[in-house]
Structure 1
Amino acid sequence: MDFALLALIAALFTAVCQSVTDLGTKAATRMADDRAILAAQWSGGAVLLALACCAAYPGFLTAPVATMDSLTRPGFWSYLGWSGALNVTAYFFYIRGFRLSDASLVAPLVLLTPVLMLVTSPIMTGEQAPPMGVVGVLLTVLGVGLLDANRENGRRFSFAVFARDAGARYMIATAAIWSLTANIDKLGVKASTPLIWIAALTIAIALCSLLYWAFGARNVPRLSALRYALLAGSAMSIGNTAQMWALTILFTPYVIAIKRLSALFTVLASSHVLKEETGGRLLGAAVMLAGAVMIAVARG
């Protein structure tokens, strides 16, 4: 089995983990406030990844500074600072989007990320997509316009619902920020290793999230109220680790586009898990799947 195929499998696994994160986040918004969810998600993931780093690199237990220096290269800390700051903002918007709207409506909007990366990737990482890859990425986004198809109002193709819906606007902002951070991830992985990068980034975001929670007006939630947030954070950290490795093999927009198949999985699962009305959103999800298949074919 070649590394490209393994990377595709890793990207698909990332999509499954992201769908679990989506569903867990939506469930968490019914039990806790946004600040607590943000802190719990990232803190849970930080603990898991810190343990993984200690297992993979035992030097962290005896000489953490020297070990970190040996595993990082110039630019690492700068990339970490930028990605940490942008991701804290993005994930606050992400949680807010799920609080204000159905998961089956807002989750597919992250498919705007690979389209925006057609602009950001050439600038930030020098990567250019071949024609079939471009068509595949654009096709995944066309599915967004079909998410409201065949509903009672008779609408066949429209983006108007996203302009009116507050949760959708938050998720569009999230997608825009992620089109930048995905490229920074590529650079960060090159300046370290996939595990070191995602662990350092997760810990940085967790610390910022805890400070954001500690200095704001808050109620201390019970642990039981955060169980879905902790589940979402664990799935996110595991999926992100697989994503960072896939980025070392595949073209960045391809990895992100395949990851965004999570939108399909979330739409399919939300009617059963969250008891949401999905309606014609499955048609849009099917178009997104077609786009992802084109992306996979174009990898060669």
Structure 2
Amino acid sequence: MKTALIQQKYHVTKEATIQKSVQMINEAKEKGAELVVLQELHQGPYFCQYENTAFFDMSDDFKKDTKFWSEIAKEYSVVLVASLFEKRAPGIYHNTAVVFDNDGTVRGKYRKMHIPDDPGFYEKFYFTPGDTGFEPIETSIGKLGVLVCWDQWYPEAARIMALKGAEILIYPTAIGWFDEDSEDEKKRQLEAWITIQRGHAVANGLPVVCVNRVGFEDDESGCLSGIRFWGNSFAAGPQGEILVLASNDKEEVLIVDINKKRTEDVRRIWPFFRDRRIDAYSDILKRYCD
């Protein structure tokens, strides 16, 4: 399965950013991509750096945006993973990944389940936690286990997707550094981020695709200086091996061949699913084990 990872920055306006995205999708198609993955909230800025009720207006175009990306998926005949700001009802908004098949059909959507609330990442102000559960989305190229950004730190989410038959784990992402952090701290954060997702690949015998944004985006509230998104989009195989890795500062179209058959091969030699002690895991459902 030839897969394209579209690593992109924000181009000042939604229109210019979308135009660049479409150019990169065209490039991916010319290179033979069957699956194209865009980054988290790829149409605009990462607006969650501070709290501003005006940003909720960005969700008003959810239906229009869904129609547009449906047409793009059909035009380029690719399975497309988009990441959009969904207005579900007055006062209820979601960070939603929408999956389009190569004929433009909406095959499913995933509403981000784990919502962070940290300096520069005030997502709890904007997003209601998802209620779609961890359900793989069936497409013409297979079952996609789509999760979003902060979900990537939780092994439970990856495991449930795998147990339900996902053939690949996909994480549209927006994560970066603060320039004030030391170089050692930046290195630790990046290495932890890559390591945890490689761990999901290993623990579940599945390929993993993670697409992050790049570029510096100001915190216009002045509370912080802004976020420098660290890129490093990558794909890993079912033993955690890095298949492709992007830079930390450039827009790129990465193409990788995902061999889904390797999941069966790896699970035969590393039978983690066989040896799970499902009779002994009830404590995982507790908030904390005193």
How high is the TM-score relative to the length of structure 1?
0.27
Q: Which structure has the highest helix share of the two?
A: 1
Q: Which structure has the highest strand share of the two?
A: 2
How high is the TM-score relative to the length of structure 2?
0.27
